[in-house]
Amino acid sequence: MKTACVILAAGKSKRMKSDKVKVLHKVCGVPMIRYPVQLALKRGYDPVVVVLGHQADEVKEYLTREFGDSLRFVLQQPALGTGHAVMVAKRALGKARGKLVVLYGDMPLVDTQELAALERAGRNSTLAFLTCRLSDPGKYGRVLRGPRDEVLKIVEHADATKSQRRINEINTGIYMMDAAWAYKAMKNLNRSNAQGEYYLTDLVESCAASSKTVKAMEVEANSMLGVNDRVDLAKVEKAMNLRLLHAIMASGVTVLDPGSTWIGPDVKVGRDSVILPGCHFFGKVRVGKACVIGPGAVISDSTISSGVEIKAYSVLEQSKVGRGSQIGPFARLRPGTVCGQNTKVGNFVETKKTHMGNGSKASHLTYLGDTQVGAGVNVGAGTITCNYDGVNKHPTVIGDGAFIGSDTQLVAPVKVGKGAYVGAGTTVTRDVPDHALAVSRTRQKNIEGYASGRTKAGKKE
């Protein structure tokens, strides 16, 4: 029988002091709710029910975009506590007969390891839950144990006595329980406590008081960090980032300075690539083998083939870079840039919706927008495609093997033919035929003696 899962995400999250619901705040570039949802699906839990409340529409829309129809949603309004949230989920669970796992939407660091431990503990007990020890147990619920170390109950911080508050074993809020038993037991929950809420934690006491088995499984505290405020958010971000970096390092990538390198969960880097300090990777990024990236590169939603160098302080968005290419330093590849193999996009070059054919180069100070550059083209320093007439954008086409001299303006729409040559300083307003030379500057004239007495050099004479 499949294990069902309820993910609690209806809370108001007041302490974030935010107009945005907590679970949509990002951890390593993605809304934090994605982590527990993805984990639940990965563990094969079915159905996975998400309990929504605050900004339910926004959260549902995001999760549907990300996970299609593999989730069920219920609305908990008003939010009357964690016990209430699980009760509300009942109608989406259908006939709950097997095990039920409860996760929180604001604990993104919980991973396979912890759930495997929970499942082990839950297999032969009516109720199992994860605990950990904290030197500062703060506002968490405390685990009360009897003389033989058996679990008696969970006491919420707000309801705890002074001596109970000294207990440093806390309830993480992650449980596995017999669903049928739990839904029967939940009928007896009440709100006579300090917070006037239905506490899911009260199930522990009712389980322990009956002849059923309840098991508390202690796990490492690191993965149990939840997000309650912005300070927690920064801690979780750092821990998640380090975890993701450790995974790519384990797969054979050198990360020189993990403390200054930031990646997301959808970043893949090939073996023997080297990431220099200060790089940021957002969204879906693929980096091939034996690349050198950085320092200070910012790369989002891009694909970089093997053997590519992305040099210092380059910025790439929605771009593709072919094998053996060299980008930067200080290059900016905007959305729709596709570089073929062995291309070169050098310093202070900006590209947008531009294809660079194999072996083509734009090495210095250039803007290429809406441009098709053939193979083996050299674009000289200071070349600008004038792709915008104030109303519309127009394309520029540069044929294979063409040579564009420095300080050229290509006024689009315009075509430069194969093997054509554009003289330096030319403003190209008409198509250039294959193998032709285009020059538009006026012929130079020299006026003898004109500068005598006007320049410093002239005065000396």
**Closest approach of Cβ 171 to ligand UD1, in Å?**
4
Residue 362, beta-bridge partner list: 345, 379
| Backbone region of residue 207 per phi and psi (left: phi > 0; alpha: psi in -120 to 50; beta: other values) | alpha
Cβ atoms of residues 48 and 105 within 8 Å: no
Burial class, 185, CB count within 10 angstroms (exposed 0-12 / middle 13-18 / buried 19+): buried
CB nearer to ligand UD1: pick between 80 and 422: 80
DSSP state of 2: P
CB nearer to ligand UD1: pick between 81 and 329: 81
Interface ranges with ligand UD1 (CB under 6 A): 8-11, 51, 76, 79-82, 84-85, 104-106, 140-141, 154, 156, 170-173, 199-201, 226
Considering all CA atoms of the chain, what is the largest pairwise distance in Å, rounded to the nearest integer?
A: 112
**Closest approach of Cβ 210 to ligand UD1, in Å?**
20
CB nearer to ligand UD1: pick between 74 and 404: 74
**Closest approach of Cβ 244 to ligand UD1, in Å?**
23
Q: Kindly state the tokens that stand for 167.
A: 């207990």
Residue nearest to ligand UD1 (CB): 141
Closest listed residue to residue 415, CA positions, set 371, 382, 365, 381: 371
DSSP state of 91: H
Taking the C-alpha atoms of residue 169 and residue 178, their distance in angstroms, rounded to an integer, is 24
CB nearer to ligand UD1: pick between 227 and 304: 227
**Closest approach of Cβ 374 to ligand UD1, in Å?**
55
CB nearer to ligand UD1: pick between 56 and 276: 56
Q: Please identify which of the residues 25, 54, 355, 364 carries the catalytic annotation.
A: 364
Specify the DSSP element, H or E, that contains 320: strand 319-321
Q: In the chain, helix, strand, coil percent, each to 5?
A: 25, 30, 45
CB nearer to ligand UD1: pick between 106 and 114: 106
Taking the C-alpha atoms of residue 169 and residue 460, their distance in angstroms, rounded to an integer, is 89
Annotation says 364 is catalytic: yes
Burial class, 55, CB count within 10 angstroms (exposed 0-12 / middle 13-18 / buried 19+): buried
Taking the C-alpha atoms of residue 79 and residue 89, their distance in angstroms, rounded to an integer, is 12
Residue positions annotated with a catalytic role:
364
